[in-house]
Amino acid sequence: MIETHDVYYTYPNGFEALKGVSLAIETGEFVAIMGENGAGKTTLIKHFNGLMKPTRGSVVVDGRDTKKVTVATLSRDVGLVFQNPDHQLFSETVEDEIAFGLRNFGFDDKTIERRVDWALNLLNISQYRTTSPFILSGGERKRVALSSVLSWDPKIVVLDEPTIGQDYLQKERLRQFIMQLNTQGKTVVIVTHDVEFVADCKPRVVLMSKGRLLADGSSEKILTDDKLLEEASIIPPQVAQLFWQLKFNNAGREIIDVYEAAEILAREIRERMN
């Protein structure tokens, strides 16, 4: 479980990026943090593995105050994938990149080998096993960064913009994997601007704006609240927009899923035409 208690964070240049954030994420939850550029999302999640320490307030992960444990210890349990993969990758081959973390956490060679294979397959990068991460495409690099963290199977997975550079098939793979983690009782936190990905995954949504929490609720509720979304610089999912435009009274309220939308629309259209 992650708890932040009235967290403030001020960067060295004096900019206050977090202004009293109190949030609880239970073990086994799947949460998407959304909000405008500069809202403080990345700053917030860097507090989850102790990479950043609050200027004021506290962050407690599974009962441990992040000010009292090392980042190394926390990272074993809280795997954080950065927004920009270039801030994370440094090894000469993709394989070494994935093995690095595993070695660091003291896994034996056999386990390392097995986990590297598993992680390479997971997000479709096996063909780049011996390639340098630096010559891969942006989307491929992102998948290497994701795979290397997922390889050590942290209890809490925190992904900053995981769908950047990914096509729909890769996103589907990622979504299915996240769902699988979630059914295993893992906690998953993503930061994302990808509204349609959120509409497909339907996690709990935490909206941030200007260093503060703006709203917290189900994806269906938050992603169909146009006023709130606008405040956080988000455009509602296409399906939600369509229902508003059609003004079908109650039909379609809080619908963000395209298959569900098709069902409801087909029914509604038939009824109205009869």
Partner 1 sequence: MPIIDLKNVTYRYFDVEKPALKDLDLEIDEGDFVIITGPSGCGKTTICRCFNGLIPHFYNGELSGKIVVAGLDVKETQTSVLSQHVGFVFQNPENQLFALSVEKDVAFSLENIGLAREEIVERVEWALEMTGIIELREKAPYELSGGQQQRVAIASVLAMKPEVVVLDEPTSFLDPLSAKRIFEVISSLNKDLGITVVLVEHRLDLASEYANEAVVMDEGKVSFVGTPRDVFNDRDVWALGVGIPKVTRLGHYLKERGIDLGGVALTPSEAADLIRGYMNR
Ligand X SMILES: Nc1ncnc2c1ncn2[C@@H]1O[C@H](COP(=O)(O)OP(=O)(O)OP(=O)(O)O)[C@@H](O)[C@H]1O
| Residues binding partner 1 (CB under 8 A) | 11, 13, 15, 35-38, 42, 83-84, 86, 135-140, 143, 161, 164-172, 193, 195-196, 199, 230, 232-235, 237-239, 241-242, 245-246, 258-259, 261-263, 265-266, 269-270, 272-273
Q: Is 11 in the site for ligand X (CB under 6 A)?
A: yes
> Which of 37, 183, 249, 250 forms a contact with ligand X (CB under 6 A)?
37
Burial (CB count within 10 angstroms: exposed 0-12, middle 13-18, buried 19+), residue 68: exposed
> Which of 136, 223, 255, 264 forms a contact with ligand ADP (CB under 6 A)?
136
Q: φ and ψ at 136, to 5 degrees?
A: -80, 165
Give the dihedral sign, CA 218/223/228/231. positive
Indicate the angle between helix axes 109-122 and 94-104, nearest 10 degrees. Answer: 130
Q: Which is nearer to ligand ADP, 95 or 140 (CB)?
A: 140
Q: Which is nearer to ligand ADP, 135 or 169 (CB)?
A: 135
Q: Which is nearer to ligand X, 15 or 134 (CB)?
A: 15
Kindly state the smallest distance separating residue 96's Cβ from ligand ADP, in Å: 17
Q: Which is nearer to partner 1, 73 or 130 (CB)?
A: 130
Hey, how many other C-beta atoms are within 10 angstroms of the C-beta on 164? 16
User: Residue 147: which of 72, 203, 93, 202 has the closest Cα?
Assistant: 93
Kindly state the smallest distance separating residue 161's Cβ from Mg ion, in Å: 7
Residues in contact with 268: Cβ distance below 8 Å, sequence separation at least 6, in sequence order: 248, 251, 252
Kindly state the smallest distance separating residue 220's Cβ from ligand X, in Å: 23
CB contact at 8 A, 82 and 88: yes
Cα distance between residue 231 and residue 233, in whole Å: 6
Cα distance between residue 103 and residue 117, in whole Å: 14
User: Residue 241: which of 204, 144, 230 has the closest Cα?
Assistant: 230
Burial (CB count within 10 angstroms: exposed 0-12, middle 13-18, buried 19+), residue 108: exposed
Q: Is 15 in the site for ligand X (CB under 6 A)?
A: yes
Q: Is 217 in the site for ligand ADP (CB under 6 A)?
A: no
> Which of 22, 55, 104, 137 forms a contact with ligand ADP (CB under 6 A)?
137
> Which of 27, 73, 104, 137 forms a contact with Mg ion (CB under 5 A)?
137
Q: Is 160 in the site for ligand ADP (CB under 6 A)?
A: no
Q: Which is nearer to partner 1, 104 or 127 (CB)?
A: 127
Which residues contact ligand X by CB under 6 A? Answer: 11, 13, 15, 17, 35, 37-43, 83
Which residues contact ligand ADP by CB under 6 A? Answer: 135-140
